[in-house]
Amino acid sequence: MPVLVVNVDHVATIRQARMGREPEPVAAAQLCEFGGAQGIIVHLREDRRHIQDRDLEMLKATIGLNLHLEMAAISEMQDIALKTSPHMICLVPEKREELTTEGGLECKGREQFLRDYLAPFRDGLIHTSLFIDADKYQIDAAAEAGTEYVEIHTGHYADAGDPVTRQNELEKIIAGIDHALSLGLKVNLGHGLNYQNIFAFARMPGIKEYSIGHSIVSRAVMVGMARAVEQMAVIIRGFVD
Ligand code: PXP
């Protein structure tokens, strides 16, 4: 059965807007657990724009769910990940100027580098995943690099501006999933998945995890807005002149 793994980066994004204490991503992760998530994902970026090192440490120490760490394939992150020992790491490309992860990891031609980078994780029994586009050559290279999982990038599908492009992207993803499974890879999906487009990926055989962040945090803001205002309004109405 596929599981939902929630990315809480954007809870930290709101906190970092004021560099303050709230909202607390660790508390959000616990609420994700109450809601039925089976894992929590954070992306510790090199520039620390949202998740901080202390978030990762506190999540590891406090949540009962599997913790996944998205990270760039750099030695700083390798050290942090080996020290933290999450359930799974997922290697993603990272550019400082991007708003979010824009494309899949370039694996073709870097198979040996990735194999070496992943080796200590395999030895430490930490599951490994590579975030890649649904491209046959990247999938072949990911398998060659010895990863256990690939996360197929659904963002190009999610962002498609017209039905023809969307259908083409969906077909690429379906072919990519089939190819990855045929090579013995385990397959996750993620990026840009929301309450509408998730249905395109329902009941696809072989998917282990759906990795979803932005749409869930956005929905949380909206479904919680009236209640949050009501709570402040009650306080203010209670003031006496
Ligand atoms: N998977 C990967 C590899 C990502 O980088 C992200 C965004 O951090 C996600 C999934 C979640 O994407 P979204 O926030 O669009 O749901």
Residue 87 a catalytic site member: no
What pLDDT does 96 receive? 66
- Considering only CA atoms, which residue is closest to atom 6 of ligand 1? 191
Q: Give the model confidence (pLDDT) of 97-112 as tens digits.
A: 677 667 899 999 999 9
Residue 70 a catalytic site member: yes
Which domains are present in the chain?
3-237 (3.20.20.70)
Q: Give the model confidence (pLDDT) of 6-40 as tens digits.
A: 999 999 999 999 999 999 999 999 999 999 999 99
What pLDDT does 5 receive? 98
Burial class of residue 140, CB neighbours in 10 A (0-12, 13-18, 19+): middle
- Considering only CA atoms, which residue is closest to atom 5 of ligand 1? 101
Residue 78: count of CB within 10 angstroms of its CB? 18
What pLDDT does 23 receive? 97
Is residue 133 in contact with ligand 1, taking CB distance under 6 Å? no
Q: What percent of the chain has pLDDT over 70?
A: 98
Residues 6+ apart with CB under 8 A from 1: none
What pLDDT does 92 receive? 97
Catalytic residue among 10, 70, 94, 153: 70
Q: Mean of the per-residue pLDDT values for the chain? A: 96
